Structure 1
Amino acid sequence: MTRHAYSFVRTFPAEAPRDLCVDRHYLLCASAGALRLEAQGQAWLLPPARAALIEAGRTIRVSIPQPVTTASVLFDTGFTAVPPQPLTVFDLSPLARALVAECGAWGPGDEPLPAYGEALFAALAAVTWRLAGEPSPVVVPAGRSPELRRALHLTEEHLAGPVRFEDVAAQVGLVPRSLARRFEEETGMTWRAVLRRMRVLRAIEELAAGDRPVTAIAYRVGYGSLSAFNAAFRELTGRTPTEYRTSFRP
């Protein structure tokens, strides 16, 4: 008899994108570094103190831009309810973090969980399923058409410096008006709004990676002033960059 739920911690080097699909509901938490997750035409960043809840049998694309340490918890489909969405990224509460740490005592195995372990995993599922009802806004569209995916890739490559929409359109072989229409149809956002989100996502990666000053990060992601960077960051996350970094290290 396999366990209804189990946990494990692993460290991964930087890796190219790959597909991931498991037969259990999957709670994935980054404790150091950051992951990128992609599914259903959208992409999420998973820095420390955040978690992703993935429905069993759902394929997601995972990329690791820098070395990362993760804590994973897998739940048998008969042990918990179906997650509220196929993939949800959300903030971990202090209680959820404590439960993830406590559940780490039970890894994969054939022996059934003791009553205490069953209670802990059930409590973790109840808490994280509820948290998943309030997903993180730190998400960007991944695009469906080859042209838009190429435009998104080109935009991301030039976040640190000046990037012009007209140049991106030319490189993907579309006139600006046609590319703007693609952004509206496939993402529901303008190119400039996507650029702003990409810059905030890159900043979150930088904040998670080490202790680089916030001002230096602002310039590295293409902002000419700290005030403009703070305003854009707060608009998307509801916090200042410093507050967001502090949430990684409770």
Structure 2
Amino acid sequence: MTRKAYSFVRTFPPEPDRDLCVDRHYLLCASAGALRLEAQGQVWVLPPARAALIEAGRPIRVSIPRPVTTASVLFDTEFVPALPAPLTVFDLSPLARALVTECGTWGESDEPLTTYAETLFAALAAVTWRLAEQPSPVVVPAGRSPELRRALRLTEERLSGEVRFEDVADEVGLAPRSLARRFETETGMTWRAVLRRMRVLRAIEELAAGDTPVTTIAFTIGYTSLSAFNAAFQDLTGRTPTEYRASFRP
């Protein structure tokens, strides 16, 4: 294939975790629904208006909790500069979103790009490479040890109800003090800080899934106060849940 860059749009049903690795720099966007990405010991949620820029040959794990439509662009490594980082998740600007849409005309083919198309893909790379210099803070650690990974899984499974650190530690088979040290050592955060991020990530997935009221989402992910949820969400994302949902719309 001779094209220096190409785009494709696909719709996927819910899928369990699977590994993804491509030989081109990969700009991955969700145009509807949300993806989960795991790499380098961290987990991101990718709803509309956010993108992942992934280095060629960099393995990542992708899961699809609900149906999702993706818009992806793949760049030949000799067509674009080196990436700012091996993997970055960031918010798309209106210009970047418009360029992703416009580049969607040129899919995988042996036919070379027209001069106009090549200029568009180069412009998209320039814009998204710049955006990738400011990664999103909405990320959750994946953990290294089996005990911590299980603690994280148990915590996430209980977001909708009351979740107690002591209960998680007991099921993992560690004393609360020992599990707390694992969190500090492996994630650099406390369990409560990780819990807060998990709730915001789950909220982003719910916001991307449809028009469920923000209050309902807040209660679904374990908050008993809408104001506390709004404060936690805005502290981490810089926007209220309503503003964040609005950013998904073109």
Instruction: Return the offset for 1:226.
Output: 0.3
Give the structure 2 partner of residue 70 of structure 1.
70
Could you tell me which amino acid in structure 1 is paired with residue 7 of structure 2? S
| Superimposed CA distance per residue, residues 55-108 of structure 1 (whole angstroms, 9 cap, x where no aligned partner) | 000000000010000000000000011211111000100110111011011000
| Superimposed CA distance per residue, residues 125-161 of structure 1 (whole angstroms, 9 cap, x where no aligned partner) | 0000000000111100000000000000000000010
Secondary structure at 2:9 match in 1 = strand
Give the structure 2 partner of residue 56 of structure 1.
56
Give the structure 2 partner of residue 247 of structure 1.
247
The answer as to 2:177 corresponding to 1:177 is yes
The answer as to 2:113 corresponding to 1:113 is yes
Task: Tell me, in whole angstroms, the C-alpha distance in 2 between the residues paired with 1:105 and 1:228.
Answer: 44
Secondary structure at 2:195 match in 1 = helix
Q: Which runs of 4+ in 1 moved over 2 A?
A: none
Instruction: Return the offset for 1:2.
Output: 1.5
Give the structure 2 partner of residue 28 of structure 1.
28
The answer as to 2:37 corresponding to 1:37 is yes
Instruction: Return the offset for 1:213.
Output: 0.5
The answer as to 2:80 corresponding to 1:83 is no
Could you tell me which amino acid in structure 2 is paired with residue 167 of structure 1? D
The answer as to 2:153 corresponding to 1:150 is no
Percent sequence identity is: 84
Give the structure 2 partner of residue 97 of structure 1.
97
Q: Which structure 2 residue ranges, 5 or more long, are not aligned?
A: none
TM-score calculated relative to the size of structure 2: 0.99
Q: Which structure 1 residue ranges, 5 or more long, are not aligned?
A: none
Task: Tell me, in whole angstroms, the C-alpha distance in 1 between the residues paired with 2:149 and 2:2.
Answer: 41
Instruction: Return the offset for 1:248.
Output: 0.5
| Superimposed CA distance per residue, residues 158-192 of structure 1 (whole angstroms, 9 cap, x where no aligned partner) | 00100000000011110001100000000000000
Alpha-carbon RMSD? 0.6
Task: Tell me, in whole angstroms, the C-alpha distance in 2 between the residues paired with 1:142 and 1:13.
Answer: 24
Task: Tell me, in whole angstroms, the C-alpha distance in 2 between the residues paired with 1:16 and 1:162.
Answer: 26
Give the structure 2 partner of residue 19 of structure 1.
19
| Superimposed CA distance per residue, residues 177-227 of structure 1 (whole angstroms, 9 cap, x where no aligned partner) | 110000000000000000000001001100000001000000000000100
TM-score calculated relative to the size of structure 1: 0.99
